[in-house]
Structures are given as structure tokens and as C-alpha cells.
Structure 1
Amino acid sequence: MNPGLLPLVVSLLAAQAPAPAPAAQAPKPQASASKPSQVPGIAPLPGQPNLWVSNVPPVPDAFRQRMEQYLEARSASLVDISDDGKQLLITTRFADTNQLHVVEMPMGARTQLTFAKEPINRAAFQPGDSNVIYFLQDKGGGEFFQVFRLDRRTGRSELLTDGKSRHSSVSVSPDGRWLTYGGTGRNGKDTDVYVAPTAQPKQARRVTEQEGSWEPMAFSNDGTKLLVAQARAIDDVDLYVVDVASGARQRITPQEGKGGVTSVVFAHDGKSVYLATDRYSDFAELYQVALDKAPPTAAPESLTKSVKWNVTGLALSPDGRKLAVSFNEDGFTKVSLLDTRTKALSPLDSLPKGVAFGMGFPLKRSDLLALTLGDAKSPMDVWTVDLKSRKPTRWTRSEVGGLDTNTFVEPTLVRYPSTDGVQVPAFLYLPKDAKGKVPVIVSFHGGPEAQSLPTFSTFAQFATAELGMAVLVPNVRGSDGYGKVYRAMDDGVKREQSLADIGATLDFIASRKELDASRVGVSGGSYGGYMTLASVAFYPERFKAAVDVVGISSLPSFLENTQAYRRDLRRAEYGDERIPEVRKVQERISPLGSVSRIRAALYVQQGANDPRVPQSEAEQIVQAVRQRAPDVWYMLATDEGHGFQKKANRDSAQMTTMMFFEKHLGAPRNPEAAK
């Protein structure tokens, strides 16, 4: 069973790669091959020619020594389980990037299987033969993922796809006969679902061929049927069952109305599906839909109505008797088991408190559940649960650079009021034993339909322990996890009202006696980068420093230049820039139009191969702000895309980020000075 078989539909909208258009090729560089940027004064970083910097000073040896141990922290994530449950396929990093490893016993050796320069994070065993693994890999962060097949007997990998278009959501049917994935090969814009016999995996055919974004979700046990999703927006997803042999398609969700989908699996007999959707309520609840009655004409009975939080994941035992159901309860994961005969729901309380994802059963065992689990003080690791005894067993223990995890801080969940009756949830990390008021870094998540969770963060731990700064991580309106009404509160032109949550965050800081409202910094990536730039543009007197990572500086130019695959999906979230009234609002709330107001120190980081937020978004804000403040820092990675995944690049970005905040926010004041 491949835990990655059930991707969150939000990944179709934000986290997965866009397709090229019209020809499926990576984005062209915006400057000459010899100089990848138009920012004046940019030059390659000595010793790292793939990193180009402007105004970014060298990292002092003393600062580097303080931070190096934190940067050696790693994590491990479950990607699949062998049929008998004796091998866990994981992704973790021992060199520069995440690679595939196999673990054959709890706390056993993490045996590396792939040794590529580019990261690998999605993979699946071949059922019946764990020596064969299918995986996705891109180049340079461009996210034009290709499907490969690894033969562990020879150690060789074979390219199965065209080498140029974008692919996603790779998985294999439980009977081992079929390989499926999403791909843009037809026209470079639309994502179709492909199916290939595993005996001839290069002989793929399309089972969907329509406009829009279609992805495979789950096979039936006998491999004859495939669930596919069509996503128009995070709150507008339709499900279909495709007959693998004929391509015939049956609608599962009603044509009337709309809703999001977080997870879906076939029942054991293939005659119904278990579906987690918010179509019928504010939160995603669990329903069972019979295929012979689909689409339902009325709301089915909820199987999780007693839990008023989102269902985030599903995994069905091979015997069909137990359905593992995960819930997101205020950012923390709770797992329960549903008896599929009685429909009774029982909590799996033996798991440690934290955040979990990627649940799955081995194909031949119904007594063992595997998952990825972590918390704020320890990285993500791989666990199993014996469902007879309910005993959890840890299979990996990821290192944290030799640091004592007891010195790390746990965040406090807080809430504070904003406009329109909104209560903003946030996680607050405070330095231990701080004296006097401490500076604060506000960290905004991307998405925007995402959620900051209490997971391990070297950023937060270093800031609190070494810099004596607090870190505040808000889930402003528009975030996932708090119901679809909250998630939709920043859609389209409503985004202007949602910016009030920045002011509410500042007011909360000012209300806390341990926080210094005169020394506030802000950071974020992607949409979090937009929020970072909006913070310093629209609240210029209240922020002293900002770090924008692959952020949007102009909503209209972002929508015009993001890749064609995702443009309509993003218009559903941000509004259609082609409509004059909408564009007027977008221009008004775009930081680029208010650069003259920015007073905070600014550091911008960007990947040259970013297919989501193009390099132009970074360079236009850097050059505009420099007309008033020449000391803007800028870092461009020529071998990265939407964020930095390679360790050497990430280390340089994180070290200079923390150095930047220390420079502009300073050390904590002593009690007397704070009075």
C-alpha cells in the first residue's frame, strides 16, 4: 500500500509543479547564460557558483559555528510499505538532498537506494516485488517531474516518461498490474491521467483527456477501477471512477454544488468509496458512497459527525474491516479507527502527540499501520502501530546535529481578535528564561490554502535558543484547517480585508509584556512571501526587517506569468486579473505598488527555475525598493525552484536569514532597559 496514493487535493493547486506552456520545457532564464539576473551588482558566491548574491555579506565564522549543528538536523518520511510490512520505504537526507532509503527493522539501518543530485520525495513499491520501485524526480527545482523505475537488483534506474513534460501522483494498483500518474504531455497545459501496464511501463495511455487538472487518487483492490479527481480549486473538486480497461467514467460527486476533497479510498469489495469532503459541512467529514447510487442526490450520512475537525487522511486495512482516519485538531493530528461493519469510531490514543501524515497498511497485513509522525521538538520520523496491542513502534530517529532536544521549546497555541469577528490562531515560540522584552519574528505560511503546524523547525529553535527572539506563526484567515468558511475569507477581492490580520498580529504582540513591539521582523515563502512584503508595505512603521522567499510582489503580474497549468487554479483563489474591477483591487493590495512606503530592511531569496512564482516577482521588488534603500539583500539560486531543497543552498539561505534578523532586531534587552 502506497501512503502517497492519496495526495491532498491542495497539492494539485499549490504544492505540485505547474506544466510548461505551450511546449513542455523548463522556464527560460531571465538574463544571459553568463549572468542569470538583471539585478545590478549580483555575483556568484565564492565556493558556491550556483548561488548569486547582491549586498549579502559573508557569514562570520563565529555565527556559522553557532548555527551549523542546527542545520545538520534531518527528518524521515514514509513513502511506502512492502507487502509483508517488513520493509519501510522512506525518504531522508544523508548528503545534499532527500533520497530513497529502506529500513528493515525498528531503529535499523537506513539503507540508501538512490544517489541522485536532485531530491526524491515520491515513490511506490511494485506490489509482489519490492525490488522494483517507481519514483518521481525533477531537475534544478523546476518541478518537471519524470517517472523512473528502479531495479534494486541492479541498482539502475530507467526513465519511463518523455523527459520534458510534468508528471505527478505516481502509484501502482494493489494487484501490481497497473502504473498510474498525472501528466501534461498532451498539450503542456492540461493534466491528464495516464495508465500503463507494469509489464510495459513505457506504454502509457490516457484515461482522461479533457481541459483542466486531473489526477489519479486510488485503485480498487482488483485493479479494474481507478478513482480520479478533477480540481478547479481547493473548494471545487469532482471525483470519478474510471474503468481501467475501457476508460469509461462514472461521476461520484454530484454535479450540483461544490466541495473540496482531502482523501478517498475504495471499499474492500470495490462497490463503494470512502470519501473525506467538506461538500456537506464546514469541515471535511467522512462519507461512504455506493457506486450504484452515485452520484448521491442527498447528503450521505457522515461517519465522523462527532468530530468537528477536518478529516485529513484515510487508509483501509487489506481485510477491509478497519479504516484508519486522521483528523487535524487545531494543528495536531489525532488518529482513529473506524469499524467498517459497525461504523464505530475508536481513538488510537497510544500515539505520541504531534503531527502525522502518510498513513498506510501493508498489502498483506491488517494488524499494522505505518505513518510519519513528529512534533515541535523532534523531526518527522517513521512509526508503526500494532493494532492488536495498540503499541506504537519507532522505526527511525532522525538526528538533530547532536543537540539536546530537551533544550528546544514547544510553542503555545494562542488566539487573538481581528476584524470581522475573526479569531486568528497562532503558535508562539518563546525563548526559555528570557529577561525583558524580546524581539519577535512573524512567520507566515504559503498556500495560501495551507496551515502552519507545530512541527520541528530549525528556524524557530535557533531564533529562540541562540538569538533570544520569539517566533510567532499565525494561521491568518484563508488558512486551511479551520473550516471552509475561514479558508474562503481571503478569496478574490476579499483578500484586501484579510490584510487586517497583519495589524491584528501586531496588536497581539503589543499586548504581550514579554514581546518587544518596537523590534518586529517578518518572513515567509510563496504566499507567505506576499504577506511578508504586504506587512512592510502596508504597516511600514511597525516592522524593522523582512525576509521574502519566492514571494509574490504583484498579484496581476504573478497571475500573468505563473505557468499555464496553474493559472486558472490560482485565479480561483486570487481573482481574475483580466476583470478590471478585480485587477484594481489586486493592484491596490500588491506590495510593488506601495514600495515608497517600505521602511524595513529587506532580504529577498529566489530560485531561478521557479515555475510557480517566477524570478521576475523577486527582481522587480528588489530593484524598486533599491531606488529608495540601496542596501536590499538578494540571493538567487540557479539550481533551485520554488524554495531551496539542496542542503548547501538551504544552509546559506538560512544562515544569512538569521544573520540578517540578528543585525536588524538585535539581542534581547535587559529588564532595566525594557522599562
Structure 2
Amino acid sequence: MGRTPPALPAAPVLVPLADAAGPRTPGRPAVPHGCWYPSADPAGEWVAYICDRGGVPQLWTGPAGGGGGGDGSTARLLDTGPDPVTEVSWSPDGRWIAYTAVPGGGEHGQVLCVRPDGTGRRIVAGADPGTSAYLGCWARDGSALAVTVAAPPGGPAPGPGGGGTALGGALHGDVGHRAGTRDRLAAFLVDPDGGTAPVLVATETGAATLRVCDLTPDGRLALVRRGPRARREAVVVRTAGLESHPVLRVADGDPWIGRFAPDGRRLWLRSDEGREFAALLALELDGDGRPAGRPELVAGRPAADLELLAFLADGRTAALTWNVRGASELELLDPAGAGRPVELPHEVVTRIARGGPAGAVLGLSGSRRRPGVWWLPEAGGPARTPWSSRDADVVAGGRPPVRPEPLRLTARDGLELGGWYYRAPGRAPGVPAPCVVHLHGGPEEQERPVFEPLFHELLGRGLDVFAPDVRGSSGYGRSFTDADLGAGRFAAIEDVADCAAGLVLTGRADPARLAVTGRSYGGYLTMASLVWHPELFRTGVAVCGMSDFATFFAGTEPWIAESAAHKYGHPEHDRELLRALSPMSRIDALRVPLLAVHGEHDTNVPPGESEQFVRAARERGHPAELLTLRDEGHDFLRAENRRLFRRTAGDWLERYLTG
């Protein structure tokens, strides 16, 4: 007898909100601030963006250029609410600005829309309890916004179109999350004006992600990205009947994977199909959206990933950002295939968006500058917008920021590892230093030469920092990213020790004054390094890390469990491997003090992961503390909490490395 398919998330219902209270123009910034995630209006005269000048990431608009000064006097605040904003998208017709906010700083988002003058604010998806929503693309004429809604098992009943054909089932089978229950994802087209009912575009059960990345001008076809990390794929959906056609594997990283040609018969994708590094591929489609032939390579590099892909207003000129060993190189590719390189004032491009009829807007970040938004005209180089933070604001107290040096080290099995070394001001080369090894999350993230306030907190206390990319990181090719899968994670743990040994052998680090820290997966590696190599590090600071894979899979969000099963192992089929990889299984080997930090609303890695490790360390007589940050989730978004985290971590590391 067949199983009854799970109900889909309910179609979104518009929830009107009061206009944002308070002034539309800013006063003096409460904190040194950054600006990021830009999206321009159709004329290219104004830019919507995220800024944390008030202490929390909020929605702002400002002129693309001209007028005003670095104090942001021409900028306007469009939502004064306390919930951090994470994504922004201005509608092609200019009437609405869509954005995603996370209530309470947690992991469950809501999609909202607001008029450019700050009126008409409303929730368009994610208002139902227990659901989460995030942005998709706009219809080309601005008449509808694509949103994805995730509902937990037993959530809202099906909405309109709930009987439509799903894109597919789970990619990994039942991961055993919460007694075998599964999340449901559904993508809808929503009219922000409320004049028409939501239209179902795509559905999937037990999925890790589902995002509508583009629609053809006639709305007949949708480009959807689905699948878990390291196994993403592009799917073309016929919106009328929800018939879907898998197209190509696409690269991890930025979710905006591609775009249809204006006639809908050609598709451009950022893909690593059959390649070590992601490239720009083109694929011809038939009238029903099926692939018609093999993909064609449009632009690729032998040792660099295509990281960001955007198309300018003509729909044919592509803006490409290449990841070259952690730094960005930007080029504009015209319809004839000729590329124009663009010189950048910062090391890393974080976002590209169309900037009206001509040009683009860029999100940029660098090791010596806070994130900012820059205007890129049709000809010439980038110009900083008048409301972005000045370079002089980068480090508190007027201290000059430290620019890192690239450093290559070799793992014990011969694999080359990369990273960035930050030397504390005033220390001459060749003098062994107290050093903190910082491990990024992911595991597929990559250390980039961007401004990191935690690093400068530690540097100001006389501690050097090394930020490596151990196996499993992105930016070095698909084989390197996949090298930590399953039992390969044991080698990733050894990479941390090999990095520490390399720092000592090159004379940079004092072997008696080493510490390790990291966030998310880096928090897991921190705990793992302390119990696998108990004599190597003097202390550690683990932030939002997993301490036991069994409890992690039982407590995390279903869509995260679905994706994590491919990276770490299946919680049922690979139970013994996951137990062997769990730091809690080796807690008796711990010998040094530990500080754990966690957001109270983290449902990605639940706070219990830190709590149980700290509790076990204390039971064994080791100094261990837990800092719980209020109103935060997996990412720390509020300025006051970020300062508390940096100060507490800095005090802890300074005490054990220099005290």
C-alpha cells in the first residue's frame, strides 16, 4: 500500500505591517559600520542595501553616486524593526523592495516587501508559526516575487496548487531526523499587491534547498536550484504544469546560479559539471525547456572558480567574478565573448547586481576596509557610494588594519594547504609569536582576505592569527572540496595539526603558545583538535560547533540534516563512523581549558552541542565556560553581541597564551 505524500507548505498570505517608525534619515552611526548586499532601482539612481550602522543589519536606500558624504546623510532607513535583514532585491518595475529578515536573529526567515518611500510594509511569506521563507527572483516585469517556504512536518495544510507535481524526493533517503519526519519546501510566485493568489512553481520533500533563480520574460519557464551541498543541480520547470527537467550540476556557493536568455531558448549557468573549477556554461533549450544538446563552455579558467555571475540590463553582458586563491578578479564579458577586466579597490567581491540601464553595483570587502557598496559605470572603474563606511573607520582606536600574507603549507600526506597569516603590529618577522589558528565554517567555506573584527581584536592584544583552508574548503577545486567526505574527515582534523606544526617549523609561532578557534564547522574542528591533539594547543574557543553527530542530527533543522548527511555521513547507515568522528567520543583526552560560544536561537547547530561539551569538560576537572548570546542564531548579527563575543574570546585567549 502506497504512503500518503506529505502535505505541502501553505501558500503565503500577505500580512500588512505598520510603516517603519522613526526618522527616515540616519544620525551619527552607533558603531563603525559596513554596507553590503546591494540591489539597484531600474533607473540605477538609488541602491537598496543592508547596513549595520545602527547596531543591527537593517534595510537602507541611498543614491548610487553624487551628493552627500561619508556620514551617510543622504541614506534612508526603510525598516526600523529589531530583526536582522539578510537579503535584498529591488523589483524590476521599481515599485517594491523585497527583503528577508530573521525574527529574533534565529534561522527562520520571513520575506517582506516595502515601498521605496518606506510605506506599505508587509510580510509576503514566512508569517505562519514554524515556517521559514527566503527570497527567489522577481518576474521580469515586477508583477510577482518568487519565494520559498519551508514547513516542518505537521505544519500548515496544503495551499492552492498543493497537488502539483514535486521536483523529486530526498536525495539521501530518510536521514532519521526527528523519528524519520521530513521537511517540505515549496516555491511560489507572490503578488506583493495582493491582487492575485500565489502560484505554486516547484515543490520538494526532504530537500536541503529550493530557490527560483530566474524566470523567462513570458513567465513560462523557471530556473530552480535544488539539492544538498556538493550535489546542487539546476532544474528547468514549466510553470504551467510543474513539469521539471534536470539540466546540469551547479557549483556550491552563491545561490544565483544563472539566467535565461531573453528568448528563453538559451540558459547560462555557473557550473562545475565535469570540471574541477566552476565555469560559465551555455545550454540550448527546446520549446518545453528541455536541454537540446551538450553544454558549451563560454568562459573558464584552469585553476580558478567562477564565483559570482550576473547579467547587466541588456541581458547579454555578463559580469564574472573569479576566485583566484581567495582574492577576486572581476571582468565584464560582452556578447561577442570579449572580456574587460575591472581593477578593484578591495580584495573580494561579495555581490554583483545590475545598476540600471548601464553599469552595475558591487558589494566589496577587503582586509583593511569594512564591507562597502561601489558603483560600477558602463565605462571606467568602481566608485565608492557616498554612504559607505570610510576606510578610516575600519579599526577602533585609529590603529592601522593588518594586511595578511598568503601562506602555503603541506599536510602529512603531501596535500598542499593554503591560508592567510596575520602578524600582530610591532612584531618583527622571525620572532616566534603566540598564535591562534582560526578555522572557518562550512566545511566548504574559504578563508578570504576580508576585514574580520575578531582577528583585529586578537592582533591588538599581541596575538598572531593564521586562517587556513584545510581539506574540504572551496576555492581549490572539486577534488579538494570533496577530500573530507566520510572518513576523509579524519585527515581534515590532522590538517589542523599539520598547520600548527608548519607555523612552528617556519619560525612564525611559539610551539608553547598555540590556540585554536573556529565557528560552526570550525567550532567542531576546534573541539576535535583539542581531543585528537591534546598536547598541541594550550586552549581553544569553539563557536556554534557540533560536539556529537548523533545529537546534532537529532536536533538540527531537517533541511540541514538532509544536506549534512552527504558531507559527514548518514546518521543511521554511518553511525559508527559518526561516533568515531564526534569530539564527545574522545572527551577523556581533553587536557586544556575551553571556551564555548553559542547563540540562544541557533537551530542550525543547537546550543546543546556546546552545553554538553562544556559540562563534560567540567566533570573531568578542566576549566570550561559557555557564553550564550541572547537574540542570536547561528550567525551573530547584533553589534553589542559581536563586541561581547570578541572581548570575551580575546580575554580568554590572551589569558592562556600570554598570562
Return the TM-score normalized by structure 2. Answer: 0.84
Q: 2:438 corresponds to which residue?
A: 443
Q: Tell me, which stretches of 5 or more residues in structure 2 are unaligned?
A: 1-6, 11-28, 156-182
1:184 aligns with 2:150: yes
* Residues 22 and 156 of structure 1: CA distance in aligned 2, closer, same or farther (over 3 Å): closer
How far 1:427 sits from its partner (Å)? Answer: 0.5
Q: Number of residue pairs matched?
A: 591
Structure 2: how far apart are the matches of 1:498 and 1:452?
Answer: 15
Q: Which AA in structure 2 matches 1:218? A: D
Structure 2: how far apart are the matches of 1:269 and 1:566?
Answer: 36
Q: Which AA in structure 1 matches 2:82? A: K
* Residues 411 and 298 of structure 1: CA distance in aligned 2, closer, same or farther (over 3 Å): farther
Q: 1:377 corresponds to which residue?
A: 368
Describe how 1:531-546 pairs up with structure 2 within 5 A: 531-546=525-540
Structure 1: how far apart are the matches of 2:382 and 2:536?
Answer: 50
How far 1:196 sits from its partner (Å)? Answer: 1.8
Structure 1: how far apart are the matches of 2:490 and 2:644?
Answer: 34
Deviates most, 520-529 or 104-113: 104-113
Structure 1: how far apart are the matches of 2:230 and 2:472?
Answer: 12
Q: 1:301 corresponds to which residue?
A: 296
Q: 2:640 corresponds to which residue?
A: 648
1:327 aligns with 2:322: yes
How far 1:403 sits from its partner (Å)? Answer: 4.5
* Residues 273 and 401 of structure 1: CA distance in aligned 2, closer, same or farther (over 3 Å): closer
Deviates most, 81-90 or 400-409: 400-409
Q: 2:133 corresponds to which residue?
A: 167
What's the secondary structure of 1:169's corresponding residue? strand
Which of residues 620, 623, 638 in structure 2 aligns to 1:628?
620
How far 1:528 sits from its partner (Å)? Answer: 0.5
2:36 touches 2:372 (CA, 8 Å); kept in 1?
yes
Q: 1:567 corresponds to which residue?
A: 561
Structure 1: how far apart are the matches of 2:112 and 2:51?
Answer: 18
What's the secondary structure of 2:649's corresponding residue? helix
Structure 2: how far apart are the matches of 1:375 and 1:654?
Answer: 20
How far 1:630 sits from its partner (Å)? Answer: 5.0
How far 1:378 sits from its partner (Å)? Answer: 0.4
* Residues 265 and 557 of structure 1: CA distance in aligned 2, closer, same or farther (over 3 Å): same
* Residues 151 and 558 of structure 1: CA distance in aligned 2, closer, same or farther (over 3 Å): same
2:107 touches 2:604 (CA, 8 Å); kept in 1?
no
1:368 aligns with 2:362: no
How far 1:84 sits from its partner (Å)? Answer: 0.5
Q: 2:306 corresponds to which residue?
A: 311
Q: Which AA in structure 2 matches 1:85? A: G
1:177 touches 1:197 (CA, 8 Å); kept in 2?
yes
What's the secondary structure of 1:269's corresponding residue? coil
1:178 touches 1:223 (CA, 8 Å); kept in 2?
no
What's the secondary structure of 1:623's corresponding residue? helix
Describe how 1:249-268 pairs up with structure 2 within 5 A: 249-253=243-247, 263-268=257-262
Q: 2:158 corresponds to which residue?
A: none
1:71 touches 1:651 (CA, 8 Å); kept in 2?
no
* Residues 170 and 259 of structure 1: CA distance in aligned 2, closer, same or farther (over 3 Å): closer
Deviation readout 1:193-236 (Å, 9 max, x if unpaired): 111234327832322133223221122344443211221x3222
How far 1:261 sits from its partner (Å)? Answer: 7.7
How far 1:288 sits from its partner (Å)? Answer: 0.6
2:527 touches 2:547 (CA, 8 Å); kept in 1?
yes
Deviation readout 1:66-111 (Å, 9 max, x if unpaired): xxxx994321003310001100111111223110111114355222
How far 1:298 sits from its partner (Å)? Answer: 6.8
Tell me: higher relative CO, structure 1 or 2? Use CA pairs within 8 A at least 6 residues apart.
Answer: 1
Deviation readout 1:541-565 (Å, 9 max, x if unpaired): 1111111111000122212221222
1:89 aligns with 2:54: no
Structure 1: how far apart are the matches of 2:528 and 2:497?
Answer: 11
Q: Which AA in structure 2 matches 1:141? A: G
Deviates most, 590-599 or 443-452: 590-599
How far 1:283 sits from its partner (Å)? Answer: 0.6
How far 1:663 sits from its partner (Å)? Answer: 0.7
Structure 1: how far apart are the matches of 2:463 and 2:482?
Answer: 32
1:240 touches 1:249 (CA, 8 Å); kept in 2?
no
Describe how 1:74-113 pairs up with structure 2 within 5 A: 74-106=33-65, 107=69, 109-113=74-78
* Residues 250 and 343 of structure 1: CA distance in aligned 2, closer, same or farther (over 3 Å): farther
Q: 2:109 corresponds to which residue?
A: 145
Structure 1: how far apart are the matches of 2:369 and 2:30?
Answer: 14
Structure 2: how far apart are the matches of 1:655 and 1:135?
Answer: 31
2:515 touches 2:539 (CA, 8 Å); kept in 1?
yes
What's the secondary structure of 2:360's corresponding residue? strand
RMSD of aligned residue pairs (Cα, Å)? 2.6
Return the TM-score normalized by structure 1. Answer: 0.82
Q: Which AA in structure 2 matches 1:148? A: L
Describe how 1:222-621 pairs up with structure 2 within 5 A: 222-231=218-227, 233-244=228-239, 246-253=240-247, 263-292=257-286, 296=291, 299-340=294-335, 342-348=336-342, 350-362=343-355, 364-365=356-357, 367-390=358-381, 392-398=383-389, 400=393, 403=396, 407-434=400-427, 436-464=431-459, 466-579=460-573, 582-621=574-613
How far 1:258 sits from its partner (Å)? Answer: 8.2
How far 1:242 sits from its partner (Å)? Answer: 2.5
What's the secondary structure of 2:286's corresponding residue? helix
* Residues 567 and 625 of structure 1: CA distance in aligned 2, closer, same or farther (over 3 Å): same
Q: Which AA in structure 1 matches 2:615? A: Q
Question: Identical aligned pairs, as a percentage?
Answer: 24
How far 1:402 sits from its partner (Å)? Answer: 6.8
Deviation readout 1:118-170 (Å, 9 max, x if unpaired): 1112122233234x222222222222111222234463522223332111124
Structure 1: how far apart are the matches of 2:300 and 2:311?
Answer: 19
Deviates most, 213-222 or 469-478: 213-222
Q: Which AA in structure 1 matches 2:62? A: V
* Residues 510 and 564 of structure 1: CA distance in aligned 2, closer, same or farther (over 3 Å): same
What's the secondary structure of 1:425's corresponding residue? strand
Deviation readout 1:261-305 (Å, 9 max, x if unpaired): 852112233221111111121011111111129755875232223
1:283 touches 1:309 (CA, 8 Å); kept in 2?
yes
How far 1:475 sits from its partner (Å)? Answer: 0.6
How far 1:23 sits from its partner (Å)? Answer: 10
Deviates most, 219-228 or 607-616: 219-228
Q: 1:67 corresponds to which residue?
A: none
Structure 2: how far apart are the matches of 1:207 and 1:407?
Answer: 51
1:191 touches 1:215 (CA, 8 Å); kept in 2?
no
Structure 2: how far apart are the matches of 1:277 and 1:217?
Answer: 14
How far 1:500 sits from its partner (Å)? Answer: 1.4
Structure 1: how far apart are the matches of 2:332 and 2:283?
Answer: 19
Structure 1: how far apart are the matches of 2:630 and 2:399?
Answer: 38
1:548 touches 1:603 (CA, 8 Å); kept in 2?
yes
2:366 touches 2:450 (CA, 8 Å); kept in 1?
yes
